[in-house]
Amino acid sequence: MVGPLEQAILALMIFVIMLGMGASLTPRDFVLALKRPYGLFIGLVSQYGFMPFIGFLLALTLPVPDPVKIGILIMGCMPGGTTSNIFTYFSKGNLALSVLMTVNSTVFGVLLIPLLLVLYAGALDLDIPRENIIITLVLLLVPVAIGMALRKWNANVGAVTEFGGSLLAVVFILFLIVSWIPRNWDFLMNTGWGTYFAAIGLGLFGFLFGYGLSVLLKLHPRNARTIALETGIQNGPLAIAIIAFTFSGDQAQAYMAVPALYSLFIVISSTLLTLWFRRINDAAEQKMPDALL
């Protein structure tokens, strides 16, 4: 479970992470998004087509209790995480496309996340307090707007804020390791294999479907790597924040199990995938024409 002090630290972390995301944006980014419909289309299909459906299938088929099913659905409906931009950079992907997909999924998430949760939760006969989730999502847009204002006011301040938000996304994982895991160790040791399969499988299946879509559309390998990472890496801190501020009681740890474990394992799987992407990034690929979406 998450105590009052952890909730306060979590809220501060989420605020700074979203502030950093906003600081990476300018009004020109939204203009470019509209001028590049393929990027917008692929981002929405990847984040709100593949991932929620993958989460639904996992919740439907795995032998896990209802609170864990809700955690799976929430994690699957999250927008892209800022850490995807970091892994895209190291995998020599298309960083501009990665940021564009993250922005699109975050902005559209205010509308799509509650709708998808109601749709899939209803199909599984689960009850999700969508009003609380909508309020949380709207409030999280405030630091994004502040970050954009900082970037417009002073580019240097915006750059520092953007870096700080991205760095804190990594620190968030360490926070889970030293805080949440020790306090919930008995629960994690006694939980079934389905919970771990869902936490790891969400990211792996996301990578697979994102890359498969790119190959199907015959995209440049740089863009394919980007879409794979952007699809599989969801905003784990946002999922944990939504759960922490929406659910309470003895089953709170069960709701949070998949998002917390996902946030830990996605770093490992993303690192391995990035190493593989760098290995296949040969000279012939570099000579191919690079078509930005």
Per residue in 116-170, pLDDT tens? 888 898 888 887 776 667 776 676 667 777 777 767 676 666 666 666 666 666 6
Neighbours of 169 (CB within 10 A): 25
Query: Quick one: average pLDDT of 184-194?
Result: 82
Neighbours of 143 (CB within 10 A): 21
Minimum mean pLDDT range among 46-50, 90-94, 165-169: 165-169
What are the domain boundaries of the chain? 4-277
pLDDT for 157: 64
Higher pLDDT, 293 or 217: 217
Q: Give 206's pLDDT tier (boundaries 50, 70, 90).
A: very high
d(CA 137, CA 140): 5
Give 57's pLDDT tier (boundaries 50, 70, 90): very high
Beta bridge partners of 80: 234
Core vs surface per residue 267-289: b (16+ CB within 10 A) or e: bebbeebbeebeeebeeeeeeee
pLDDT of residue 12: 67
Longest dimension (CA), the chain: 57
**Close Cβ partners of 38 (under 8 Å, ≥ 6 residues apart):** 293
**Region 4-277: CATH code:** 1.20.1530.20
Q: Which of 60, 99, 66 is nearest to 82 (CA)?
A: 99
Give me the count of residues in the chain.
293
Task: Specify the pLDDT at position 269.
Answer: 92
